[in-house]
Amino acid sequence: MSVSEATLSGRFESYLSSLTSVFGHADRIEPLHDYCCGLLLPGERKSVEPMAAVLAPSRVSAKHQSLLHFVGQAGWSDALVLAKVRELVLPSIERSGAITAWIIDDTGIAKKGMHSVGVARQYCGRLGKQDNCQVAVSLSVANHAASLPVAYRLFLPEAWAGDPVRRKKAGIPQDVIFQSKPQIALDQIRKALADGVAPGVVLADAGYGNGGGFRTALTELRLLYAVGIQSNATFWSPGQEPLPAKPWSGHGRPTSRLQRSPEHAPLSAKALAMDRVSDFSTVTWREGSDSDLTSRFARFRVRSAARDFEQDTPHPVEWLLVEWPEGEEEPTKYWLSTLPEDTDFSTLVDTVKLRWRIERDYQELKSELGLAHFEGRGWRGFHHHATLTIAAYGFLIRERAAFPPSAHQIRKNTPIPNRPRPRGAPNPSGTTRSKLDRNDP
């Protein structure tokens, strides 16, 4: 092992040693090291059996059983581990600037069978269609340099939530009930606030942003947002609002509800944008890897018209941002944001576009670290595997922040950890082994 490889190995060992305090029993230290090593080492599959074959080729069965118990049955806390990862990794991210965004998203994991916990026929973003899959909701904290998932929870379809037989077989905790994805996301956000995580602008796609209840809850939590919406969401044109309640005629019950009429009605986001073609202009929001990131946008100060005829007061004024790329026949994306009125155009665009970081996270977590490779069927194993994957990813983030070449080396041809030797095997180098390189806790 070269000096640079030994140094890298030492940093990895130090990182994992910092995590051991939240795993409880000392006999979990070895499988923690093994599992994270297996996730970082090269390999097409990062499920338990192939990792065991790489880590301990002379005793695959024993290593397989050890890892299987650790990830599928051991009673350590996902929440405590993720909190510790956050504590260890956020300072590295924040060296490049304060946290600016909280990104909500969900990811689908395709499954062939129907027996793994939470599997149902539902939309899978990775496949781009409805199919058998698991879907997990996550919250990531981000700035322009990096992002880190700090919460990750399986979406449990109603068919699973209401089936006691399948719940028992998969080990689903009794307090886990059916919740929509936005409800899960709001729980994650509230927990992050309670834990004192530095807040950022909440970013989410239209699956979350199109629901007025989700946006209202964020405002009640005093969080700003910049979320996707669908083109058919309705708004009052800039400078307009619903009509006031009709004056009481003296007969019947007086009403305080807002009014609209055929001559005074809201427009869909798409109609509003296409009526104002001249308002679109080219905006460059940041530098890309090859060239500046540029497109055509328009922004408007508007009031939402969503069911305001049931209200006494209009919705507040917000930003409606619309993207209409050159060459497209109509606008392609829409966002609603509570960023301040004096926010400049490029900052508004840059904020909504920062959501790309979660796509990169999932790409690396799945393709490089095996987030989607877990083959167990239970609730605990599903979440333990995800937590350990995020822990391994946290180490890569720290390496990138301090030693960018090392982070690349870890992913592509990582020299750490050395393949563990069977207990009692001689050390060919004749030197004392580190904790990372030995099998005893």
Task: Using the 3D structure, point to which of 346, 381, 414 is the last residue of a domain.
Answer: 346
Of 93-102, 339-348, 377-386, 415-424, give the lowest mean pLDDT range.
415-424
Residues 271 and 336 placed together within one structural domain of the fold: yes
The answer to whether residue 376 sits within a structural domain is no
Q: pLDDT category, 382, cuts 50, 70, 90?
A: very high
The answer to whether residue 214 sits within a structural domain is no
Task: Using the 3D structure, point to which of 319, 346, 373 is the last residue of a domain.
Answer: 346
pLDDT for res 84: 97
Residues 3 and 68 placed together within one structural domain of the fold: yes
The answer to whether residue 424 sits within a structural domain is yes
**What average pLDDT score do residues 265-293 get?**
90
Q: What is the pTM of this model?
A: 0.87
**What average pLDDT score do residues 309-336 get?**
93
**What average pLDDT score do residues 306-334 get?**
92
Reply yes or no on whether the pLDDT at 180 is more than 50. Answer: yes
pLDDT for res 25: 83
Query: Residues 25-53: pLDDT tens digits?
Result: 888 999 999 999 999 998 889 999 999 99
Residue-number span of the structural domain to which 322 is assigned: 227-241+260-346
Q: pLDDT category, 10, cuts 50, 70, 90?
A: confident
The answer to whether residue 390 sits within a structural domain is no
Residues 416 and 338 placed together within one structural domain of the fold: no
Of 67-76, 240-249, 431-440, give the lowest mean pLDDT range.
431-440
pLDDT for res 433: 32
Residues 341 and 234 placed together within one structural domain of the fold: yes
**What average pLDDT score do residues 198-215 get?**
95
Residues 333 and 234 placed together within one structural domain of the fold: yes
Q: pLDDT category, 2, cuts 50, 70, 90?
A: low
The answer to whether residue 199 sits within a structural domain is no
Counting the structural domains of the chain, the total is: 2
Q: pLDDT category, 431, cuts 50, 70, 90?
A: very low
Residues 335 and 424 placed together within one structural domain of the fold: no
Reply yes or no on whether the pLDDT at 162 is more than 50. Answer: yes
The answer to whether residue 121 sits within a structural domain is no
Residues 235 and 327 placed together within one structural domain of the fold: yes
Q: Alpha carbon of 1 to those of 85, 225, 424, 428: distances in Å?
A: 28, 49, 20, 12
The answer to whether residue 276 sits within a structural domain is yes
Residues 232 and 313 placed together within one structural domain of the fold: yes
If you average pLDDT over every residue of the chain, what do you get? 87
The answer to whether residue 52 sits within a structural domain is yes
Q: pLDDT category, 310, cuts 50, 70, 90?
A: confident
pLDDT for res 248: 62
| Dist. CA 282–CA 294, nearest whole Å | 7
pLDDT for res 123: 85
Reply yes or no on whether the pLDDT at 350 is more than 70. Answer: yes
Residues 337 and 423 placed together within one structural domain of the fold: no
For every residue of the chain, which 3-state class applies, written as one string? CCHHHHHHHHHHHHHHHHHHHHCCCHHHHHHHHHHHHHHHCCCCCCCHHHHHHHHCCCCHHHHHHHHHHHHHCCCCCHHHHHHHHHHHHHHHHHCCCCCCEEEEEEEEEECCCCCCCCCEEEEECCCCEEEEEEEEEEEEEECCCCEEEEEEEECCCHHHHCCHHHHHHHCCCCCCCCCCHHHHHHHHHHHHHHCCCCCCEEEECHHHHCCHHHHHHHHHCCCCEEEEECCCCEEECCCCCCECCCCCCCCCCCCCCCECECCECCEEHHHHHHCCHHHCEEEEEEECCCCEEEEEEEEEEEEECCCHHHCCCCCCEEEEEEECCCCCCCCCEEEEECCCCCCCHHHHHHHHHCCHHHHHHHHHHHHCCCHHHCCCCCHHHHHHHHHHHHHHHHHHHHHHHHCHHHHHHHHHHCCCCCCCCCCCCCCCCCCCCCHHHCCCC
Task: Using the 3D structure, point to which of 279, 313, 346 is the last residue of a domain.
Answer: 346
Reply yes or no on whether the pLDDT at 149 is more than 80. Answer: yes
Residues 231 and 308 placed together within one structural domain of the fold: yes
- Residue 76 tokens, joined: 């350590």
pLDDT for res 418: 42
Of 212-216, 233-237, 331-335, 433-437, give the lowest mean pLDDT range.
433-437
Residues 234 and 322 placed together within one structural domain of the fold: yes
Reply yes or no on whether the pLDDT at 422 is more than 90. Answer: no
